[in-house]
């Protein structure tokens, strides 16, 4: 028996990578970070892809990664911040039976967590809190629309991961059976 992969979404800094690794370890599954996968395949960083090839090219790479990953079982997939703002990507995961989990954290906590982090192209701006608030307000409704489950991700990573497993065990989240 194989299980459809679990997809984590949410704002940058919400803990997709951190919680995803813990969850994968707890389940004995493999963890995949979509941004990292795309970077490895392109041989460039996400920032470089944005700069040299443009956002449209990056979104096409994301869509291709969604298609390939959704077909594989027993993965914990951390999506890039923009992936699930596109209904087409949401549909691909859902058709494959993959539950989508939203890790919820307020913008103020995001700012705290990402202090000193210069690797996020969208945050290289003078007023970070304001930029995060605006982007958060724009993306949250899209994430909520995509998600089958929303969890409080301000708790410690081990607890967040356990809450995800417990919530997904209830049958209404097993889309394929």
Give the footprint of ligand ADP on this chain (CB under 6 A).
12-19, 78, 113, 153, 156-157, 160
- In the complex, what is the shortest distance from the CB of residue 132 to ligand ADP, in angstroms, rounded to a whole number? 12
CA 3 → CA 48, 88, 164, distances in Å? 35, 22, 15
**Shorter beta-carbon distance to ligand ADP: residue 14 or 83:** 14
DSSP conformation class of 2: -
Nearer to Mg ion, 17 or 48 (CB): 17
Does residue 47 interact with Mg ion by CB under 5 A?
Answer: no
How many separate helices (H) and strands (E) can be counted in the chain? 8, 5
Nearer to ligand ADP, 149 or 175 (CB): 149
In the list ligand ADP, Mg ion, none, the entry touching 156 (Cβ below 5 to 8 angstroms by class) is ligand ADP
In the chain, which ranges are E strands? Answer: 6-9, 30-33, 75-78, 100-104, 149-152
Cα–Cα dist 4/168, whole Å: 11
How far is CA 141 from its chain centroid?
Answer: 15
- Answer with the entry of ligand ADP, Mg ion, none that 15 interacts with (C-beta below 5 to 8 A by kind): ligand ADP
The answer to whether residue 45 forms part of the interface with Mg ion (CB under 5 A) is no
> Which C-beta is closer to Mg ion: that of 17 or that of 97?
17
Residue 152 tokens, joined:
């409080």
- Nearest distance, CB of residue 34 and ligand ADP, angstroms: 10
Q: For Mg ion, which stretch binds (CB under 5 A), given 12-20, 53-61, 90-98, 145-153?
A: 12-20
* Nearer Cβ to ligand ADP (123/168): 123
Tokens of 107: 């913008």
17 counts as binding Mg ion under rule CB under 5 A: yes
At 132, give phi and psi (nearest 5°): -65, -45
Position 26 contacts Mg ion (CB under 5 A): no
CB 10 within 8 A of CB 102: yes
Tell me which DSSP letter residue 43 carries: T
Residues lying near Mg ion in the complex (CB under 5 A): 16-17
């Amino acid at each position: 028996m194989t299980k459809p992969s679990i997809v984590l979404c949410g704002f940058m800094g919400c803990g997709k990578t951190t919680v995803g690794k813990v969850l994968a370890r707890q389940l004995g599954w493999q963890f995949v970070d979509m941004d990292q996968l795309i970077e490895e395949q392109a041989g460039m960083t996400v920032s470089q892809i944005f700069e040299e090839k443009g956002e449209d090219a990056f979104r096409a790479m994301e869509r291709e990664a969604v298609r390939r990953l959704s077909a594989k079982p027993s993965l914990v997939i951390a999506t890039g911040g923009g992936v699930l703002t596109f209904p087409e990507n949401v549909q691909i995961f859902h058709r494959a039976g993959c539950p989508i989990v939203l890790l919820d954290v307020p913008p103020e906590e995001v700012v705290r967590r990402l202090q000193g982090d210069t690797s996020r192209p969208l945050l290289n701006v003078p007023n970070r809190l304001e930029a995060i608030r605006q982007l958060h307000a724009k993306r949250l409704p899209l994430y909520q629309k995509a998600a089958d489950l929303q969890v409080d991700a301000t708790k410690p990573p081990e607890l967040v991961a356990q809450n995800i497993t417990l919530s997904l065990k209830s049958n209404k989240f097993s889309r394929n059976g």
